[in-house]
Amino acid sequence: MNTEFAVRAMSIGKRKGGKELWQDLSFDVERGSHVAITGASGSGKTTLLNCLGLLETPDQGSLIFNGKEIRKSSARSRTIFYRNQVGFVFQNYALVDSWSVARNLRVALTYSKQNKPSRTLMTASVLERLGLAGKERSLVYSLSGGEQQRVALARLLLKNPPLILADEPLAALDDQTASLVTSVLNECCERGAALIYSTHDTNYASTADKVIRLTP
């Protein structure tokens, strides 16, 4: 495994609604590794993911990405980092319901250097692999929950980000879909991406290279 760190958290802390979620939290995440975040409901698992994805800011400490302290970067640099480096797997899939599958996936390729024919081929290949061939023009709201999850996975594969943040990625999934999600996330890590995910599933957490346990 490559020992270069994708993320380094140094003594970070966060309060919400007058409650201290965590303080002096430090950890390293290596490229290509799986890191699980566990803890009781309300312990701040999703908030920690949001901080790592720059959707929220820690109240204290430092977050270092690829050797750079992100809090000291300009707003433009943070936007570029999020756009190019981070892929989120949200519990609600974060798709636009009124858009077609193809339009939702084009968002992942907005900043791709591939030409249009190459993007079309890439998209078709990913959709076929995930059992969504022929669904390009389908509106997201017409899809089942499992199909929407697969569209979200297709978006992740097309973006191919170095850092993946997943909020309860296996929650409420049937065994077949959970197996597919796990396979796709593992494939991304094999390509060198760092995966950080929150979970209540102790079995899934046990497969991680490292576990961050949050306590209230």
Q: State pTM to two decimals.
A: 0.88
Alpha helices by DSSP H, 44-194: 45-52, 75-85, 101-106, 116-129, 145-159, 175-190
CATH number at 36 reads 3.40.50.300
pLDDT (tens digit, 9 = 90+) per residue, 62-121? 999 878 887 777 788 878 888 888 999 888 889 999 999 999 999 888 877 778 888 888
Q: Mean of the pLDDT values across residues 31-51?
A: 93
Residue 216: pLDDT over 80: no
Domains in the chain, number: 1
Residue range of the domain that includes 90: 5-213
How far from each other are the two terminal CA atoms of the chain, in whole angstroms? 32
pLDDT (tens digit, 9 = 90+) per residue, 70-80? 777 778 887 88
pLDDT (tens digit, 9 = 90+) per residue, 152-197? 999 999 988 999 999 999 888 888 888 999 999 999 999 999 999 9
